[in-house]
A and B are shown apart, each in its own frame.
Chain A
């Protein structure tokens, strides 16, 4: 093993923590993990459960506090003010400095502010950090009506959170269906219907034109000069509200790197091995932007799983030899109120030219399945599934092996990951297939759980 280095990671989110853990697995380097947000790593995605009272903040910590000392990962709750790449030093806001041999940016992202809203308006915020949650918690008792702008995953989470406190919620969605820039029309419609059935209002094809605010009187103790009063949509609708949630997306936190002279674009630019323009400095997770993303993938993917995989890759790059980041077959999952969603492979909102789509839906039970495949050879390229759980390994295997649509439908049972006794939809899906393709009727390969338990 090469000589021991001091590896400093800025950001203790999933990317930074995964990097730290894997560097420790592979080496004895000194590791320092810095965050100004929280002392310990917590699951950002679960902040909503704290707000709704499902969990306490302490439950969000995936590792017990002794884990870090046991694994010799030094935690530092400080704010990095400046990075000096020539002397390899970090300057903290308290004036102290720290020398590094290798630096990893895992600074994550922040929610995007809406241009139509004046900065510092009371009652306007997004949801990303622990501090955002605290701020939301603080003003929640005063909220009666809330508007959320942006129909995406954080938008629906915020809606569910506010709804749990009996706050009237209206979501403004730019597209003609919820999360319409990602989901095909049918799924977007299903999600829209589900969210509405849970009690949140959705305004489709709507965008903010401007907002009105009210000036806060001098007795007001908050630093904000004014508070949100209403929003006016581009169609001219006026929505009164005392809270405006901004969930129109997130943007990489690249300022620290940019100020240090590291090349940035939307995010911190990295090569295939996640190295920035400066030697010994890497960037992973939400804050990074790939110079050459793999075909069909975005240059920035602010997703938990991407951050995790990048953390694993960068650890190998640093401890062993340079490794190219390979995200593999895409997957993601989410939950819209009570509706579960999983996706594997490549499903775009609009079909590409050489692609076809098989779609089945049971709207009463709020379940649907989409399989996209190559028109020519019928090889499956992606799955969207709502209300049913599918096995990631099986779906990815099918995509990698270029299995045909009919093969996949025939063997759907292998992909099912629903709990025991759940109603099986496979036969309905097969019936749909046979209805659509009467010339090549197929039969479901049965796979009884009971016999598998006894003889399997």
Chain B
């Protein structure tokens, strides 16, 4: 049965990947006009002889279509660059839009897509239903014997695949237009707009959290804490992160994930984002106020009472993916003292970077000057987006799940986690309490801590765990065979003794 389920999943993925090779591309003038939103650029590009040659021609190969298109523009640009006519060079990349527009999806695409997704989900649920037959309790048998969950060959392959996926998604999305076409009907249904690569990503992300979240809930069906927080994460991802922004778009309001808090939402104070909100009236102003309130008041207050877990393992999308899809990799985080030292440098480094970037951004917004200290704000934003937003949060953050554990981004990079961590460490009622002297130093808590906290080091000397990085997933408490650990807030009766 298990083998059958895995075969189903494999066939499903095979179907989905085969989609990337089907369908035809045909460029028309209308497509150029629609997707090249700068009129000047449209005028130039549509007149290029090699683009003219492409119009009306049927391409069955995506690769040759993209390369023809790109070489046409590149050729044009290189001539201008030689002549040092920098202002005339077309810096904007229209490849995705034009490729996406030129794509005609055959019915086979939808059939394969539907069948593929169906097989994958069916396979996962068959595995889950097998799981449900087994008795309740901790299910960690063979975790370090399976290749996929112990950095074996399968784990490395999966890691490479995820890394490649993120690289293509961020920098070569034109190669994913087949998948974008697949989800296009859903996008039109929700927001009325055609799908972009980001819609595709959001949908995949949400489905992954739902499916693997259900798996997690069943795996931990003996623990209400685990079930509730996973339910919460699924809810916030499907509504706040996925559906609500699409509906806002439909209502002609700015696209905003209302639970995504600055500085994790690093574009929140970007001038065009602020402008967009101010321009869209009362609700836009509310969104702006809500975001500022969450950052300045809501986050510190909630962290004071409940620890940063209120966000990291109950609401956050990154945390949601880590806790559900990444659950099988939590044991791969490094617990050494050295990694703790590195973690503190990198995470607060990112926080400082985000802070500096925002100072530049706001300076430019209020003064209208694009330079501060001779550095253009736009450049800093671009660097941050590239290094932190894309490479760190995406490629490394998720791609490295099977290699470095499921919380690489949350532990080493997330500026919001860093910000909340300061409150959690110095001013919070939350801590993991240790039950007397009952620890047997078995190490399950440390092994399964996704944040790489050496929980045992605290437990075996009876010391409460107060750590900036703890996201309060509660797994240490669940896997402890002696019931030694508990997540607690507020005074407990013991304090009186």
Contact = CB atoms under 8 A, between A and B. Distances in A.
B138 interface: yes
Interface in B419-445: 429, 435-438, 440-444
Given A59-B447, A423-B224, A392 B145 contact: no
A232 interface: no
A392 B438 contact: yes
A55 B456 CA distance: 14
A46 B442 contact: yes
A421 B225 contact: yes
Contact of A393 (B138, B224, B228, B497): B497
B443 A55 contact: yes
B483 interface: yes
A197 interface: yes
A333 B440 CA distance: 10
Contacts of A331: 436-438
B481 A335 contact: yes
Contacts of B444: 46, 49, 54-55
Given A54-B140, A305-B438, A417 B486 contact: yes
Interface stretch (A2-10, A435-443, A448-456): A448-456
Given A340-B481, A389-B483, A419-B478, A453 B429 contact: yes
Contacts of A449: 489-490
Interface in A50-96: 52-56, 59-62, 64
B482 interface: yes
A397 B436 CA distance: 12
A374 to B, nearest CB: 22
Contacts, number: 143
Interface string A21-54: 0000000000000000000000101100100111
Contacts of A43: 440-443
Contacts of B447: 54-55, 59
Interface in B379-400: none
Nearest to A335: B481
B429 A45 contact: no
Contacts of B44: none
B299 interface: no
A453 B144 contact: no
Given A45-B442, A423-B224, A56 B486 contact: no
Report the interface size class on chain B. 35 or more
Interface in A411-443: 414, 417-423
A14 interface: yes
Given A338-B135, A453-B489, A53 B141 contact: yes
A333 B485 CA distance: 13
A342 interface: yes
Interface string A86-115: 000000000000000000000000000000
A337 interface: yes
Contacts of A45: 440-442
A422 B437 contact: no
B225 A53 contact: no
A393 B486 contact: no
Given A62-B460, A338-B135, A338-B137, A56 B440 contact: no
B240 interface: no
B138 A338 contact: yes
Contact of B442 (A49, A414, A453, A454): A49
Contacts of A452: 489-492
A304 interface: yes
A59 B332 CA distance: 11
A56 B144 contact: yes
A455 B491 CA distance: 8
A198 interface: yes
Nearest to B430: A453
Interface string B468-488: 000000100110011100110
A453 B305 contact: yes
A391 interface: yes
Interface of B: 135-138, 140-146, 222-225, 228, 305-306, 336-337, 429, 435-438, 440-444, 446-447, 456-457, 460, 474, 477-478, 481-483, 486-487, 489-494, 497
